[in-house]
Amino acid sequence: MFRRLTLALCAALVTSDLLAQSDPGLSRLESELSRLSSIAGGKVGVGIHHLESGRQLYLNADEPFPMASTFKVPVAYQLFTLVDQGKVRLDSMITVQPQDLHPGSGTLSNLFDDPGVSLSLRNLTELMLLISDNSATDMVLKAAGNGSAVNARLAQVGVSGISVDRPTILLIADAMGVKGLGAEETWTRQRFGELSRATTDADRTAAREAFLKDRRDTSTPRGMTALLTKIYKKDGLSPAMSDLLLDIMYRCETGNARIKGLLPPNVRVAHKTGTLNMGITNDVGIIDLPDGAGHVVLSVFVKEATGNAEAQERQIAQVARAVYDYFVFNP
């Protein structure tokens, strides 16, 4: 047994040495990413996978980072799995109930105060991914079987390091220290607002500290990069569902100052952002490189940042530009 382990370790070291010799520039890119990670303070996680060559690079590869709204990518992956299995139809109409209107990003809560609105599951999914609508997200999550079903699907396809555990309304409540939401039928914006106003500054501070230590609804850079790679390679989804998911992500309307911020304007990026106003700023996606240089998966997570939101976005943009330049000139 010891001899087999020794031989395996030697083989791994030889493989690593060969990769370094064949692409020594990756170590320079890693040094640049480490330098850029100090711009906004806090901790930065980066996952990179050049899909055509297979080259990968990570910074804090297995550190859990709060996903914020990037968790909507694995939710969509599970939903589209159910579509492939014939268990869910994207043209199914879902009636928006008062308890479905949740706080946070998006427009459903702002547009519809009264019952009587129905939207297709396809429309809700687009709202979830295009503008990060939290109300639509929680409705999609329920249709996908909730977090346990998402996690089971990820385990089934061999993706580890991602955990989806709460709808957005509970995630936001935990982050803000809001308590007492009660049963699901009481999850209204009005109820949330009342409880939020009753939350003390001490409660909010304690909640923030606890939230940053919480392993729920987190992803490692390695885990998210693996999931995005599977989506691009149509692994675990039919070609039609993979193409639909990528098409929606290419049209994402949030976070233009992040991965896309410093890239040439004609570069296509299929991505999803995530933000919590407590030093958490994320963007994950796939960059289409020009001139046949291929495609690169890029996951960037920032947590516990001390800089302002603009600094965090600039940090992600500079990481993306460094990765873009490297793989354009070293395809």
Phi, psi for 47 (deg, rounded to 5): -125, 130
Same-domain status, 195 and 234: no
Phi, psi for 257 (deg, rounded to 5): -95, 5
Same-domain status, 256 and 320: yes
Contacts of 318 (CB under 8 A, 6+ apart): 36, 39, 262
Q: Extract the tokens encoding 272.
A: 């999803």
Please report, as a single letter, which amino acid is at residue 161: G
Asked if the structure places residue 84 within a domain, the reply is no
pLDDT score at 18: 39
The β-bridge relationship of strands 218-219 and 295-303 is unpaired
Same-domain status, 225 and 307: yes
Task: Categorize the per-residue pLDDT at 9 as very low, low, confident or very high, splitting at 50, 70 and 90.
Answer: very low
Contacts of 125 (CB under 8 A, 6+ apart): 76, 79, 90, 136, 140, 248
Same-domain status, 30 and 124: no
Asked if the structure places residue 116 within a domain, the reply is yes
Of 213, 245, 274, the residue that ends a domain is 213
pLDDT tops 80 at residue 13: no
Q: Please return the burial class of 118, using the count of CB atoms within 10 Å of its CB with bins 0-12, 13-18 and 19+.
A: exposed
Please report, as a single letter, which amino acid is at residue 284: V
Report which secondary-structure segment, H or E, holds 10: helix 2-22
The CATH code of the domain that includes 296 is 3.40.710.10
Same-domain status, 108 and 192: yes
Task: Categorize the per-residue pLDDT at 10 as very low, low, confident or very high, splitting at 50, 70 and 90.
Answer: very low
pLDDT: which is higher, 3 or 232:
232
| pTM attached to this predicted model | 0.91
pLDDT score at 240: 98
* Distance between CA atoms of residues 290 and 268, nearest Å: 9
Same-domain status, 174 and 191: yes
Same-domain status, 107 and 52: no
pLDDT tops 90 at residue 41: no
Same-domain status, 94 and 195: yes
Of 213, 246, 269, the residue that ends a domain is 213
Q: Extract the tokens encoding 261.
A: 């911020």
Asked if the structure places residue 269 within a domain, the reply is yes
Q: Tell me how many degrees the CA angle 133-269-304 measures, rounded to the nearest 5.
A: 60
Domain range for 268 is 25-60+220-329
Q: Please return the burial class of 268, using the count of CB atoms within 10 Å of its CB with bins 0-12, 13-18 and 19+.
A: middle
What is the distance, to the nearest Å, from the Cα of residue 281 to the centroid of all Cα atoms in its chain? 10
pLDDT tops 80 at residue 219: yes
Of 213, 242, 275, the residue that ends a domain is 213
Percent of the chain predicted with pLDDT > 70? 91
Going by C-alpha positions, the residue among 295, 282, 157, 161 that lies closest to residue 232 is 295
Q: Extract the tokens encoding 215.
A: 């392993």
pLDDT: which is higher, 116 or 209:
209
Same-domain status, 230 and 205: no
The angle, 0 to 180 degrees and rounded to 10, between the axes of the packed helices 134-143 and 146-156 is 70
Asked if the structure places residue 189 within a domain, the reply is yes
Asked if the structure places residue 276 within a domain, the reply is yes
Asked if the structure places residue 224 within a domain, the reply is yes
Q: Extract the tokens encoding 64.
A: 């859990």
Asked if the structure places residue 5 within a domain, the reply is no
pLDDT tens sequence across 223-282 = 999 999 999 999 999 999 999 999 999 999 999 999 999 999 999 999 999 999 999 999
Work out how many domains the chain is built from and give that number: 2
Q: Tell me how many degrees the CA angle 26-272-223 measures, rounded to the nearest 5.
A: 55
Same-domain status, 201 and 252: no
Asked if the structure places residue 66 within a domain, the reply is no
Same-domain status, 204 and 258: no
pLDDT tens sequence across 77-130 = 999 999 999 999 999 999 998 888 888 766 787 776 666 789 999 999 999 999
Same-domain status, 205 and 239: no
